[in-house]
Amino acid sequence: MNVRSSTMWGVSRPKAATKEGIMDAALAVFHERGYEGTTVPAIAERAGVAQGTLYNYFPSKEKLLFACARAGGAPGAIFGELRADVGRRPVSELLEEGAVRVVRFWDLRLPSVLMRAARPLASDRPGLEFPRRALESVRDYFAAEVRAGRVRRADPETLAWGFIGGLFYRVFFERVYGAPGSFRLSLDRFARSWAREFAASLAKPGGAR
């Protein structure tokens, strides 16, 4: 049975789509106003749902913030997808796609992630689970490349830390300290350049990248 939920405009939509729409709206409002400046009515209005509908999915603004910080499309999921293409697409192409998708994810969600870190729930598990899953997925991708003999032999976990760490700090510095024109390269251009340089550093002598 396809369970549906009504919006404030009387148009029904699947419950999963309603929840996703609320989270998308919350991300946008958190991004624009910060946590303290964001209100539940503002999120509900942006999502096109009644406040009661929002509370059916998220009992508080804080719970909604934490859900946004853990939402899908995270680096772990991205590199899980790319791992399936090892051996079918060039290393540089896979890393470039992964890098661009990761910086776009963090550019959108970093404010929510930082606000979540500053406002831990008493019932919340230690905040290492989410980044650990991401790191493990990137590590597994590099391990697959090493096993396939497409890159020089190296420790996959060290590669994962280096690759993801550079991308994260680039987004972090732009979001926290940046101003228009502060950085020579846009996030996307930096991500592509970072991926190409990383792939070049892993190339086997005389081998294809």
What are 86-131's pLDDT values in tens digits? 999 999 999 999 999 888 888 877 776 666 666 655 455 444 445 6
Beta bridge partners of residue 14, listed in sequence order: 4
Q: What is the CATH number assigned to the segment(s) 4-68?
A: 1.10.10.60
Q: What is the pLDDT of residues 148-169, one digit of tens each?
A: 999 999 999 999 999 999 998 9
- 132 φ, ψ to 5°? -65, -40
> In the CATH scheme, what is the code of domain 70-202?
1.10.357
**What are the residue boundaries of the structural domains of the chain, listed by start?**
4-68, 70-202
Q: Which is more confident, 11 or 33?
A: 33
Place of tokens 């060039």: 90
What is the percentage of the chain residues whose pLDDT exceeds 70? 76
Residue 73: pLDDT band (50, 70, 90) is low
Match 């081998």 to its residue by tokens. Answer: 207
**Do 4-68 and 70-202 fold alike per CATH?**
no
Q: CA–CA separation, 168 vs 185, rounded Å?
A: 15
Whole-number Å distance between alpha carbons of 99 and 168? 10
Q: Over 70: is that where the pLDDT of 194 sits?
A: yes
SS3 187: helix
Q: How high does pLDDT run on average in the chain?
A: 80
58-74 average pLDDT score: 76
Q: What whole-number percentage of the chain has pLDDT above 90? A: 44
pLDDT of residue 124: 52
Closest C-alpha to 108, from 25, 28, 194: 28
